[in-house]
């Protein structure tokens, strides 16, 4: 067997085991409520359809944005997608090659794992909102640059203020550090709730940093998967949603 075939087999085996950890081994009780009926007093004048329109307006601006160089190297901008009424939002780092091709967040390998995690939580992608710190793919999937984060930040900020999720899951160091305005390591930040302040007159969201799915795929260990699952169980508990039980 060639080295390349061995690597492919390893990746396949890892992925299958990962799937069973996050999805296959759990039976989902279901029955929770993940949509907030928008309370008029907290979002004056904003009905649910207004929120969808506001998000589409942000997405339109993102698609025509050329503030950074990566605005010219992208195939598609990736504004993020999901349910405007959701109580739960996932924020990643930046689109990769698959996302750049399709204009949708988390649709590649890391996205497949994120879907497994969401499924294991007893939820669907359509029930949550999934976005990123950067809306354009950095060439070669390099780390986001500080000026790119600064340029792109207003779009995510507006999305957050429009949706006002109760809980934000920050996927990986770049998302957690940007949203919390800190340089702390993800290993130190994850596993407990922090606060994300929308503005002075709105109640803050709870923010749970956890490992990025791409990091999990690269650092495949039972302990890392268990840590992410523990973080997600805290999220479910905070949302007062049922925690799926492990079978057997």
Residue numbers at the binding site for ligand URA (CB under 6 A): 92-96, 99, 105-106, 108, 110-111, 132, 214
Indicate the residue among 61 and 102 with the shorter CB distance to ligand URA. Answer: 102
Half-sphere exposure of 37 (CA within 13 A, CB side): 0
Closest CA to 117 of 238, 217, 19, 215: 19
Indicate the residue among 70 and 241 with the shorter CB distance to ligand URA. Answer: 70
CB of 211 to ligand URA, least distance (A): 12
CB of 99 to ligand URA, least distance (A): 4
Long-range Cβ contacts of 192-196 (<8 Å, 24+ apart): 192/234, 193/234, 193/238, 196/160, 196/168
- R_g (Cα) of the chain, nearest Å: 18
CA–CA gap between residue 209 and residue 118 (Å, rounded): 15
Rounded to whole angstroms, what are the CA distances from 190 to 42, 110, 144, 194?
Answer: 29, 19, 20, 9
CB of 125 to ligand URA, least distance (A): 12
Looking only at the bridges linking them, the beta strands covering 81-82 and 129-132 are antiparallel
Indicate the residue among 34 and 133 with the shorter CB distance to ligand URA. Answer: 133
Indicate the residue among 106 and 229 with the shorter CB distance to ligand URA. Answer: 106
Indicate the residue among 130 and 236 with the shorter CB distance to ligand URA. Answer: 130
Indicate the residue among 58 and 105 with the shorter CB distance to ligand URA. Answer: 105
CB of 132 to ligand URA, least distance (A): 5
CB of 105 to ligand URA, least distance (A): 4
CB of 39 to ligand URA, least distance (A): 30
Closest CA to 69 of 130, 152, 3: 152
CB of 138 to ligand URA, least distance (A): 10
C-beta nearest to ligand URA: residue: 92
CA–CA gap between residue 25 and residue 19 (Å, rounded): 9
Q: 13 burial class (0-12, 13-18, 19+ CB within 10 angstroms)?
A: exposed
Let me know: does 123 contact 89? Beta carbons within 8 Å. no
Indicate the residue among 122 and 144 with the shorter CB distance to ligand URA. Answer: 144
């Amino acid at each position: 067997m060639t080295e390349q075939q061995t690597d492919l087999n390893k990746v396949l085996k890892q992925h299958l085991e990962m799937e069973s950890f996050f999805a296959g081994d759990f039976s989902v009780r279901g029955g929770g409520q993940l949509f907030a009926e928008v309370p008029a007093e907290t979002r004056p004048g904003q009905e649910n359809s207004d929120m969808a329109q506001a998000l589409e307006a942000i997405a339109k601006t993102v698609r025509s944005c050329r503030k950074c160089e990566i605005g010219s190297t992208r195939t598609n901008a990736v504004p993020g997608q999901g349910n405007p009424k959701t109580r739960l939002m996932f924020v990643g780092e930046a689109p990769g090659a698959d996302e750049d091709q399709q204009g949708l967040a988390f649709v590649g390998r890391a996205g497949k794992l994120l879907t497994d995690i969401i499924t294991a939580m007893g939820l669907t992608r359509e029930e949550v909102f999934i976005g990123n710190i950067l809306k354009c793919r950095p060439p070669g999937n390099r780390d986001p640059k500080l000026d790119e984060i600064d340029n792109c930040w207003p779009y995510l900020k507006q999305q957050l203020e429009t949706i006002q999720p109760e809980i934000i899951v920050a996927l990986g160091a770049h998302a957690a550090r940007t949203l919390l305005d800190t340089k702390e390591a993800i290993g130190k930040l994850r596993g407990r709730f922090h606060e994300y302040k929308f503005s002075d007159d709105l109640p803050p969201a709870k923010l749970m940093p956890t490992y990025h799915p791409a990091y999990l795929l690269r650092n495949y260990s039972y302990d890392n998967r268990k840590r992410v699952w523990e973080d997600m169980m805290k999220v479910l508990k905070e949302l007062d949603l049922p925690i799926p039980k492990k079978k057997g």
